[in-house]
Structure 1
Amino acid sequence: MLKQFLSKLPRKATKLDSDESTRVNSLRSDSSAVKNHRPHGGNNSNTAKRTSSSAVFPSSTVAGIEPLLPFKDVPNGEKMNLFVSKLSLCCVIFDFSDPGKSIVEKDVKRRTLVELVDFVANVNMRFSEPATLAMCRMCAVNLFRVFPPNYGSNRGGGENDDDEPTFDPAWSHLQLVYELLLKFISSPCLDAKMAKKYIDHWFISRLLELFDAEDPREKDCLKTILHRVYGKFMVHRPFIRKSINNIFYRFVFETEKHNGVAELLEISGSIISGFALPLKEEHKMFLWRVLIPLHKAKPLGVYFQQLTYCVTQFIEKEPKLASTVIMGLLKYWPITNSQKEVMFLGELEEILEAINMVEFQKVMEPLFWRIGCCMNSLHFQVAERALFLWNNDRIVNLIAHNRQVILPIIFPALDRNSQSHWNQAVLNLTHNIRKMFMEMDEKLYLSCHSHFKEEEAMSSATVEKRKEAWKQLERIASLKPVIGNTAVLVSPI
């Protein structure tokens, strides 16, 4: 078994793939210099330990140092070389689909990862360039992988919310690799100017691809790591934003399948909260072209909370965007999906709490026409949620100041509800709102009532006239029956 493990270990620094090899070519000379560097001195009491462990990982393989030695057993000057050796040891990948396979080797790797995490958390020396390269290589070998087609049953999350997520059987190792990468990026001993050459666009792109994993534990780790990368490497910030946008574009306009939309929106929310004022055109385009179209996707319920947070962050930053957002919501209003209508109404309430009077007046007519339609919905949750808007004092204040426009729009919906809606809760809420308008402006209310009755009478007269016209046509047609293909001339009524 140990021989099998030995055969998997590289005699030279591990290559990720042809792209990775090209990417790190310029540093091979530096890393080879580290490999050829041998430790000077050392403790004779560790000879037996070195001899026994060399059967698993020979000392000549990487960096000239026995990787199974503890960090405390080597002088400070050699600890970074030992760090590189241990990282190379962890580049060996195992098959976790069979729990009984390579048990000893898996345990060696796990204990090495634990030791590396502890070392990075407590290191007091600057990480060298070869060490940074070795860290990125080890993370790439262990983490970056392509998910199979039709991966899991939860992709998109909209129709299979009750299904259990898929948990990666290799998580015992993946978790340690993620923890190691997080501590490495967060370490004050990492020089961001040097590290940006290795934690580059390729590395960040591969990290973002991993957000499509189904394991929620992995997505939580990725979310924290990407936060740290965005905070530490300012030069990569535009690329990170652009790459996240591209994932959203593909999700909205092509696939509607991605397991990490909620987590990516959570990251975007943190990024938006840090935008400086006035907002750049690039950031406004993100609102118009990404956040608002995200409302139309089928799996909206999976990421609705995070999406609402992002939208409200924009409105808090720049209140005049509220009217743009409301018009966007009306454009994508889910008239055939009651569950999504309830969510849209909830988001509208949050926006109306933050909107100013000028922006409200720009959109109040189409907005309350749509709210009136929701009030008449036969789905009681939609009707109830629309009527609940009047429980919000801020919204009632906006309505009161613009009642001359709003009441005539929604009065027909209120009257229809009170006459024919089947749900008692909706009837009670409708009665309360009618009473509120009566107390607010009795003269306007009576005027709207009178106007509505006149329109209703005219509508009834039109319907009766149309029925009578059809009866006359039927009577005339009965007197002149059609024979064969002969056309019949009907005199005008």
Structure 2
Amino acid sequence: MSLSDQIVSPADEADESDAAAIVANDIAPMEQEALAKRQLTIEIFTHFLNISVEENREIDEKIIVKLLENLDTKDSGERDCSQELLFRIYRRFEGLRPYIRKQITNVFYRFIHETEQIDGIAELLELLKVIIKNYDVLPLADREQLLLNVLLPLHKSESLKTFNVQLESCVLDLLKENASLIPKFINGLLRLWPKTSTKKEVIFMKELVKILQITKHKQFLKILIPLFHRTAKCVSSPCVLVAEAACYLWSKKEIVRLIIKNNEDIMSIMFPTLYQVSREHWSQHIRDIVYSVLKIIKQINEDLFMQLCRTYNYKLELKVDKFIEVEGNPSETFKKPVNR
């Protein structure tokens, strides 16, 4: 019997008729037994991995397929075990690395294009992060394909919240090493922007802020217009968390530097929305934050700020004294708790 035949999938562990007979008192012993089994599996694998690559005939493509199948389970312990074994194989067997990458990508493609009823996406993304960061220098074309054809479409998933942390981490690692891909990715993210889910909007905006913190001016110019049109829509959102996340752009010094260099274009897009939200948003918390943002942009370009104030004061017949006279450190407003 080969080693791959000894890797038992979760579905094989117990017959359905037996499962019906399990009572609550048996759960703890079963968990201990499952843990012992996983530890034994890892020990067996470690033994085979310690054999020289040239002499090892047991670690092959069949095992890779079996481990990936075992990742698709509700059992988090089983997923962790399979993930750890895949990682050890990838680290040890350089010849299997292209095949492992290809099979991981195929799982992502199936999740994106066929069915989201696949578990283990978070674990695969964690494995992918290690691969990206530590082991392979992939050609730019391969990195672009991974970023735009795999990681970007994963943002469309209805279950994004179950793996968004791992997904964001992979995206940032790729973009840090490939700044030229930032405009393409951000434009793609803006096209996929959620229309009905405020929870996903918050996830998107928080990721966008982190990407902008590593964006250079050259790349920023390519996404400036669509980026701030979307930001304006988010600032005016009735959802407090969405509006708050959008305002955080002005709390990050790296992003403020980019805004200063392009303040005229950005202020012409943002000012009407900021002005209206500062007076009409239902949440006092958001109004406070927007007052601080207005104070910041006033400091950036006071002449243009006053010109826009006069323009919109005439159109909307609103007073501007309230936010012009904001006192204190604007950044402090961003630390206030949300009033729900």
TM-score band w.r.t. shorter chain: 0.7 to 0.9
Deviation at 1:453, TM superposition (A): 5.4
| Aligned match of 1:193 | 54
Structure 1 residues 362, 243: CA separation in 2 closer, same or farther (over 3 Å shift)? same
Aligned-partner Cα distance in 2 for 1:377–1:444: 26
Would the aligned equivalents of 1:142 and 1:177 in 2 still touch at CA under 8 Å? no
Aligned-partner Cα distance in 2 for 1:206–1:280: 30
| Aligned match of 2:121 | 261
Where 1:292 maps in the other structure, the secondary structure is helix
Deviation at 1:216, TM superposition (A): 1.3
Instruction: Work out whether 1:174 is the aligned partner of 2:37.
Output: yes
Return 5+ residue gaps in structure 1 as ranges.
Answer: 1-13, 15-132, 152-166, 458-493
Would the aligned equivalents of 1:352 and 1:395 in 2 still touch at CA under 8 Å? yes
What is the letter of the counterpart of residue 304 of structure 1? N
What is the letter of the counterpart of residue 179 of structure 1? I
Instruction: Work out whether 1:363 is the aligned partner of 2:223.
Output: yes
Deviation at 1:232, TM superposition (A): 1.1
| Aligned match of 1:302 | 162
Aligned-partner Cα distance in 2 for 1:404–1:429: 21
Deviation at 1:269, TM superposition (A): 0.4
Where 1:193 maps in the other structure, the secondary structure is coil
| Aligned match of 1:432 | 292
Instruction: Work out whether 1:317 is the aligned partner of 2:177.
Output: yes
| Aligned match of 2:321 | none
Q: Is the deviation greater in 260-269 or in 171-180?
A: 171-180
Q: 2:99 aligns with which of 223, 239, 242?
A: 239
Would the aligned equivalents of 2:10 and 2:73 in 1 still touch at CA under 8 Å? no
Flag the structure with larger Rg.
1
Q: 2:46 aligns with which of 174, 183, 192?
A: 183
Where 1:448 maps in the other structure, the secondary structure is helix
| Aligned match of 1:222 | 82
Q: What percentage of aligned pairs have identical amino acids?
A: 32
Q: TM-score, normalised by structure 1?
A: 0.58
Aligned-partner Cα distance in 1 for 2:279–2:64: 60
Aligned-partner Cα distance in 2 for 1:415–1:147: 62
Aligned-partner Cα distance in 1 for 2:217–2:12: 50
Correspondence list, 1:248-397, <5 A: 248-274=108-134, 279-397=139-257
Aligned-partner Cα distance in 1 for 2:136–2:46: 29
Structure 1 residues 384, 426: CA separation in 2 closer, same or farther (over 3 Å shift)? same
Q: TM-score, normalised by structure 2?
A: 0.83
Instruction: Work out whether 1:141 is the aligned partner of 2:6.
Output: yes
Would the aligned equivalents of 2:48 and 2:58 in 1 still touch at CA under 8 Å? no
Q: C-alpha offsets along residues 227-281 of structure 1, whole Å, 9 cap, x if unaligned? A: 1111111111111111111111111122112220000000000111136557331
Q: C-alpha offsets along residues 346-397 of structure 1, whole Å, 9 cap, x if unaligned? A: 1011101111100011001100100100000001111111112211111111
Aligned-partner Cα distance in 2 for 1:279–1:390: 35
| Aligned match of 2:324 | none
CA RMSD of aligned residues (A): 2.3
| Aligned match of 2:68 | 208
Q: C-alpha offsets along residues 421-477 of structure 1, whole Å, 9 cap, x if unaligned? A: 0101100011111111112111111233344457669xxxxxxxxxxxxxxxxxxxx
In terms of fraction of residues, the more helix-rich structure is 2
Q: Is the deviation greater in 170-179 or in 327-336?
A: 170-179
Structure 1 residues 142, 229: CA separation in 2 closer, same or farther (over 3 Å shift)? closer
Aligned-partner Cα distance in 2 for 1:347–1:185: 41
Where 2:282 maps in the other structure, the secondary structure is coil
| Aligned match of 1:26 | none
Question: Which is bigger in relative contact order (C-alpha 8 A, separation at least 6)?
Answer: 2
Q: Tell me the number of residue pairs that the alignment of Structure 1 and Structure 2 aligns.
A: 302
Return 5+ residue gaps in structure 2 as ranges.
Answer: 17-29, 318-340
